[in-house]
Amino acid sequence: MKNVVVVGSQWGDEGKGKIVDWLSSEADVVVRFQGGHNAGHTLVIDGKTYKLRLLPSGIVRKNKISIIGNGVVVDPWALIDEIDEIKNKGVHIDENNLFLSEAATLILPIHSELDALREDSTKNPKIGTTRRGIGPAYEDKVGRRSIRVIDLLSEDNLDAKLATLLEHHNYLRKGMGEKEYSKNKLKDKLLKIAPKILKYSRPIWKKIDEFKKANKKILFEGAQGILLDVDHGTYPFVTSSNTVASSAATGSGCGINTINYILGITKAYTTRVGEGPFPTELKNEIGEKLGERGKEFGTVTSRKRRCGWFDGVLVKQTIKTSGITGIALTKLDVLDEFDEIKICIAYDLDGKQIEYLPAASEQQFKVKPIYKSFKGWNSSTCGIKSFSDLPSEAQNYIKFIEEFVEAKLSTISTSPERKDTILIEDPFGP
């Protein structure tokens, strides 16, 4: 019996929703372990579309346990809105199938306001945040002043915690020329929503240990992509959490020996939302064609994604930093109408060839891709369910990716439909 972690091997938007949905049909427990409501998964099940932001993908399936771990930052109002939205689509959600870590940090209105103030400041470079307060909430967590789910149990405790929090934030707001935030106003809002949130609260580490002992299949669902990891991504144009697979353990309270297989979701080309370096970006008609064919718009923000050729250097790097066991290649069918397709196999940095992305942001913007070209297949791969049925040119393209990034191919997705998946290796095992 294997427990599986799913992570994005690029900048997010790799098509994790479909793969996680497919895996969650096998899993007993699905766990979100990092991020917040800034990243989303779109699931299409029996003709119904579900857009999830905080809720794990298992929530839309019967007889599954869904867990929001301590590594997630939770906007309580956004969570309740999302629960109501999904309930209205006929999905049953209660405290028996949804657990929320009592140690999870809460995102408050003051966090989203600070996020927007910083992003709009002319003094700072734009990071391209979603303005949902994710970063400021993680800052308070690390600064040991955050409000956590468990703090909603006691009004006196909450009052004291808010005083500490607002002492810090009101200094910041004063420096930005903003009014001080009212403690009583914020406390009243939290006390009002507390009963709706606390009914889902659990010691998650303990629940996961129980599931392990019961030999349940656990799926750990990552959000965003490894290249947005705060340590290993294109810093500072990153998210505020660790998106690598090892954070599944810290973000849920289980040992790393709980993880048996790491699946890296990998798009057959490359996309990025927001600011930051993107070596293979195509600011031309090819990039536009990739975006149109791939319907490249964000699930949460609807922002248009930047598009480019597959960057093998970056994917090889993320496979190393996250310990990826196998890759699920998605959106292969988007490449069906290209005469020539390219893969970045190295970079040119000031006339020197390098085979990794340097850590310095200024160098990340300067590197130029060195490509290997492949003949396109100019025929439809949409819906193909066997590797041998793919055009020979598509097979060559896929085999090269597998060899170059040094990771086994697990699955190939040939359309947004769940059934259109070529299974080569089941991450949960035979």
Residue indicated by tokens 């049909």: 25
Exactly one of 21, 28, 37, 41 is catalytic; name it: 41
- H or E element: which one contains 45? strand 41-45
**Reduced to 3 states, what is the DSSP secondary structure of residue 399?**
helix
Q: Is 41 among the residues known to form the active site?
A: yes
Task: Please tell me the predicted confidence (pLDDT) of residue 230.
Answer: 96
Q: Is 13 among the residues known to form the active site?
A: yes
Task: Please tell me the predicted confidence (pLDDT) of residue 254.
Answer: 94
Task: Please tell me the predicted confidence (pLDDT) of residue 182.
Answer: 93
**Reduced to 3 states, what is the DSSP secondary structure of residue 388?**
helix
Exactly one of 13, 115, 140, 151 is catalytic; name it: 13
Which stretches in the chain have pLDDT values below 70?
Answer: 1, 39, 122, 124-128, 298-302
CA distance 429 to 21: 17
Listed residue (384, 377, 392) closest to 336, CA to CA: 377
Task: Please tell me the predicted confidence (pLDDT) of residue 402.
Answer: 96
Q: Which amino acid is at 173?
A: R
- State CA 69 to chain mean position distance: 14
pTM of the model: 0.93
Residue 159, token pair as written in the block: 């009052």
Task: Please tell me the predicted confidence (pLDDT) of residue 300.
Answer: 60
Bond from prior residue into 236 cis (ω within 30 degrees of 0)? yes
Task: Please tell me the predicted confidence (pLDDT) of residue 24.
Answer: 87
Contacts for 117 with CB less than 8 Å, ≥ 6 apart:
176, 178
Phi, psi of 212 (to 5 degrees): -60, -45
CA distance 239 to 314: 17
Side-chain half-sphere of 254: how many Cα atoms within 13 Å?
Answer: 29
Residue 373, token pair as written in the block: 């070209």
**Rounded to the nearest 10 degrees, how much is the dihedral formed by the CA atoms of 189, 194, 197, 199?**
-160
